[in-house]
A and B are shown apart, each in its own frame.
Chain A
Amino acid sequence: MATTEGRVTREVEEVVEEVSTGQLATQEMILNVGPQHPATHGVFRLLATIDGEVLTNAEPVIGYMHRGYEKLVEARDYRQITNLVSRMDWLSGINNELPLALAIEKLMGLDVPPRAQYLRVILCEMNRILNHLMFFASFGAELGAITPTFYAFREREDIQYVMESVTGGRMHFGFFRPGGLKEDVPRGFYSAALAAVRQVIDRLWHYEDLLVGNEIFKGRTIGVGVLDKEAAYSYGVTGPIARGSGIDMDVRKDEPYLVYDQFDFDVPTGPNGDCFDRFWVLVHEVVESARIVEQAIEGIPSGAVMGKVPRVIQAPEGEVFVRTENPLGELGMYLVSDGDRRPYRLKIRTPSYNNVSALPAVLKGTLVADMIAILGSFFFVLGDIDR
């Protein structure tokens, strides 16, 4: 071995001895996964310390996408905020608008007509299917199976089309208003929505065979990246990830808002908290969402979609906290009003932020390849972390 400054030279026998006793000191390397990396779905950086292919430490670095929405909303009136919060988690725009509308309604004591509540449920659940299919697609792609991605996108397109026919938007819908909806659904909506949702369910099982039933997929995900129940609780993990860890928790069931208490649906949970369970929960939630959409369309009442709302929305002084079940977990909004037309403060608790904070605990000691599987199964949206 050549003598170089600052480097210890060792005899060959010494190295051989170390290798044979398993004490060879290998050099650790810091690997920046991101901010630009195919597996991070955006500008997310993971500062990984690796020893060979084993991660000895991992630290998520977030904040690349901070757009300061919490501050921005303080300068806008209540109607304008809808379009801002819709952009936090760009995969589930309409689900983000919901807690805001609920918070304003609660603060102002507005009544929402039942028809609007049913339609909100339908749109939210269809949006949930959109979101889950997206993660279904990306998880497959991260494990190297590209084809399921395209199948999932094809199904997404059908639902996307129905959503577009209602709201005019594909990602940022901006459809919920304090007191109801922007307008009623177009003619032919029910049949189109039912057809799209049923088609997803029909085909989902075929696609599931491509992944969940695949031996390689099982080998890559079962027992990998286990997040146990206690850790999930202590990190405040919610949504499919918490349910994958066996926590039976769903705001729609535990603290029903809108008209969720009138529908019959299950909350799937996984026993082990590994990547496979998280993915399994995700797939099954698509089915449950579809069931809710079917029931809601069956039981939808007629009537107005907008309650009696004053011309100027001006919340009285006070504060309110509303939480809803976003596709990725629990979304909470803490709205403080000083009686102005603008909120005094809007604190947003987004699911992705807490979910990502549990990453280091899971990643320590895994392989680089498993790191990707874990990142893919920790469903998070960058805009939702940084907002």
Chain B
Amino acid sequence: MDSIILAATEIRLGPINFIATDWWIFALKLVVILTVVPVGALVGGYALHKELGHLQHRLGPMYAGGFHGWAQTLADGLKFIYKEDIIPARADKPVFSLAPAVIFVPIVMLFLVIPVDRSLIVEDLDVGIFYLLAIGSVGVIGVLMAGWSSSNKYALIGALRSAAQLIAYELPIVLTAASVAMLAGTLSLVGIVEAQDWPFILWPPGLGLLLFLIFMVGAIAEMAIPPFDMPVAESEIITGPFTEYTGMRFIFGFFFAEMAHIVAFSAIASTLFLGGYKPIVPWGPLDVIPGIVWFMGKLVVMFFVLIWIRFTFPRLREDQLQSFAWKFLIPVSLILILVTGAWVLYAPESIWPR
């Protein structure tokens, strides 16, 4: 009993002490996050343009700003600021206006617990991975709000598709994340990174890779990017829940949120499976490279792969996606939980060589 109370107080004490003693540090961290995420999304948008350009044998933006059009996303953003903010006459105005914020804010909040380096983290929550999964699913409420309040049939179809998709694909994500937590023996993200002498994608062999693949499929579906972009499928239902949005609301609810989401999930995947800020293999000389470089490098690779997938595959159909989730991914991830449990129970020394 004592130990439970002790654990509970430990969880609570961290942030409280922080706010009580170093409130300015807390404020500084907030400012940093609120700067880094939009800038990251802008850079991500530019990287997307360029990668897309090269994948499709074209140049991408080349003029704005001079060198290879580096200011293009900035210019796009400015353009959208100046656009008229149209709210349809029959829309539910407060809900309609609030929806983009409900979509965007949780994505920003994802970045709060991601360790960029050993000590470079806004808040090392003891329940970090749990927090990630919980916050990550809030966005769908915003999507539902947008779809319902727009008073548009396409928006409604898109919102319902989005909700169905989230329920189906949150499960594999949660189940694989649970396996990761079991492998690491902790819910804290710093703890998970520290537990990866070898990144989980390489060790335990096979199991880690499978977990990673299932996690990424779930992540792609949750971000609603192709091949799982049915909620916004442009050629079918225009832009789904965002059909009626214009200007900044459209950008924050849709494009910006999507970019930030891709960056966030690249970061989460590198943290959970690729060893975060640690070298990709435990080899002494590699430690010279600072952790932030490792982390950013892994993030960039993940981002590249996600964009690559995004622009290569055709879109699945809603029912195919559902059956893929419920009949394949979820059973497999449940089995993997059992395998992980058995592995941790019977051969812990092979997972934790220390």
Binding site for B on A (CB under 8 A): 29, 31, 37-39, 53, 140-147, 150-151, 154, 210-211, 214, 216-217, 219-220, 367-372, 376
Contact of A147 among B55, B154, B227, B234 (CB under 8 A): B55
Contact of B238 among A37, A140, A370 (CB under 8 A): A37
Contacts A38-B234, A38-B238 given; indicate if A210 touches B226 (C-beta within 8 A): no
Q: Min CB distance, A133 to chain B, in Å?
A: 15
Are the CB atoms of B319 and A143 closer together than 8 Å? Answer: no
Decide yes or no whether B311 CB sits under 8 A from chain A.
Answer: yes
Are the CB atoms of A145 and B314 closer together than 8 Å? Answer: yes
In the assembled complex, which residues on chain A have CB atoms less than 8 Å from the CB atom of B56?
146-147, 150-151
Contacts A367-B319, A368-B236 given; indicate if A144 touches B227 (C-beta within 8 A): yes
A-B contact pairs, 7 of them (CB 8 A): A143-B235, A144-B227, A211-B314, A214-B314, A220-B317, A372-B233, A372-B235
A376 to B233, CA, bound (A): 14
Q: Min CB distance, B328 to chain A, in Å?
A: 13
Contact of B226 among A29, A53, A144, A219 (CB under 8 A): A144
In the assembled complex, which residues on chain B have CB atoms less than 8 Å from the CB atom of A367?
317-319
In the assembled complex, which residues on chain B have CB atoms less than 8 Å from the CB atom of A214?
313-314
- Beyond A53-B318, A370-B317, 20 additional pairs, beta carbon < 8 A: A38-B235, A141-B235, A143-B315, A144-B226, A144-B233, A144-B234, A150-B56, A151-B56, A151-B57, A154-B57, A217-B314, A220-B316, A220-B317, A367-B318, A367-B319, A369-B233, A369-B236, A372-B233, A372-B235, A372-B236
Binding site for A on B (CB under 8 A): 55-58, 153-154, 157, 226-227, 229-230, 233-238, 311-320
Q: Which residue of A lies closest to B230 (CB)?
A: A369
Q: Which residue of B lies closest to A217 (CB)?
A: B314
In the assembled complex, which residues on chain B have CB atoms less than 8 Å from the CB atom of A53?
157, 318
Are the CB atoms of B229 and A144 closer together than 8 Å? Answer: yes
Are the CB atoms of B57 and A216 closer together than 8 Å? Answer: no
Q: Min CB distance, A32 to chain B, in Å?
A: 8
Contacts A39-B235, A216-B227 given; indicate if A143 touches B57 (C-beta within 8 A): no
In the assembled complex, which residues on chain B have CB atoms less than 8 Å from the CB atom of A368?
157, 236-237
Task: Identify whether the interface residues of A are mostly helix, strand, loop, or mixed.
Answer: helix
A20 to B57, CA, bound (A): 54
Are the CB atoms of B313 and A144 closer together than 8 Å? Answer: yes
Are the CB atoms of A150 and B58 closer together than 8 Å? Answer: yes
A146 to B234, CA, bound (A): 11
In the assembled complex, which residues on chain A have CB atoms less than 8 Å from the CB atom of B153?
29, 31
Are the CB atoms of B235 and A147 closer together than 8 Å? Answer: no
In the assembled complex, which residues on chain A have CB atoms less than 8 Å from the CB atom of B318?
53, 367, 369
Q: Min CB distance, A283 to chain B, in Å?
A: 15
A35 to B95, CA, bound (A): 29
Q: Min CB distance, B233 to chain A, in Å?
A: 6
A227 to B144, CA, bound (A): 37
A20 to B228, CA, bound (A): 30
In the assembled complex, which residues on chain B have CB atoms less than 8 Å from the CB atom of A29?
153
Q: Min CB distance, B5 to chain A, in Å?
A: 43
A369 to B153, CA, bound (A): 15
Which 9 A/B pairs are nearest by Cβ-Cβ distance?
A144-B315, A150-B56, A143-B314, A145-B314, A142-B235, A369-B317, A39-B235, A372-B236, A217-B314
A39 to B237, CA, bound (A): 9
A214 to B315, CA, bound (A): 11
Q: Min CB distance, B50 to chain A, in Å?
A: 15
In the assembled complex, which residues on chain B have CB atoms less than 8 Å from the CB atom of A150?
56-58
In the assembled complex, which residues on chain B have CB atoms less than 8 Å from the CB atom of A37?
238
Q: Min CB distance, B140 to chain A, in Å?
A: 18
In the assembled complex, which residues on chain B have CB atoms less than 8 Å from the CB atom of A146?
56, 311
Interface centre among A37, A146, A370 (most CB of B within 10 A): A146
A154 to B157, CA, bound (A): 35
Are the CB atoms of A147 and B319 closer together than 8 Å? Answer: no
Q: Which residue of B lies closest to A210 (CB)?
A: B312
Are the CB atoms of B320 and A219 closer together than 8 Å? Answer: yes
A53 to B230, CA, bound (A): 12
Q: Which residue of B lies closest to A214 (CB)?
A: B314
Q: Which residue of B lies closest to A215 (CB)?
A: B313
Are the CB atoms of A216 and B238 closer together than 8 Å? Answer: no
A214 to B319, CA, bound (A): 18
A307 to B154, CA, bound (A): 57
In the assembled complex, which residues on chain B have CB atoms less than 8 Å from the CB atom of A210?
312
Interface centre among B55, B56, B157, B236 (most CB of A within 10 A): B236
In the assembled complex, which residues on chain B have CB atoms less than 8 Å from the CB atom of A211?
314
Contact of A39 among B57, B226, B236, B313 (CB under 8 A): B236
Contacts A29-B153, A38-B238, A39-B235 given; indicate if A144 touches B312 (C-beta within 8 A): no
Contact of B312 among A145, A219, A369, A376 (CB under 8 A): A145
Q: Which residue of B lies closest to A219 (CB)?
A: B320
A28 to B238, CA, bound (A): 20
Contacts A369-B230, A372-B235 given; indicate if A144 touches B57 (C-beta within 8 A): no
In the assembled complex, which residues on chain B have CB atoms less than 8 Å from the CB atom of A144?
226-227, 229, 233-235, 313-315
In the assembled complex, which residues on chain B have CB atoms less than 8 Å from the CB atom of A371?
236
Are the CB atoms of A216 and B236 closer together than 8 Å? Answer: no
Interface centre among A31, A144, A370 (most CB of B within 10 A): A144
Q: Min CB distance, B240 to chain A, in Å?
A: 12
A93 to B270, CA, bound (A): 53
In the assembled complex, which residues on chain A have CB atoms less than 8 Å from the CB atom of B57?
150-151, 154
Q: Which residue of A lies closest to B308 (CB)?
A: A147
In the assembled complex, which residues on chain A have CB atoms less than 8 Å from the CB atom of B238?
37-38
Q: Min CB distance, B327 to chain A, in Å?
A: 14
In the assembled complex, which residues on chain A have CB atoms less than 8 Å from the CB atom of B235?
38-39, 141-144, 372, 376
Are the CB atoms of B311 and A219 closer together than 8 Å? Answer: no
A277 to B31, CA, bound (A): 56
Interface centre among B56, B154, B313, B317 (most CB of A within 10 A): B317
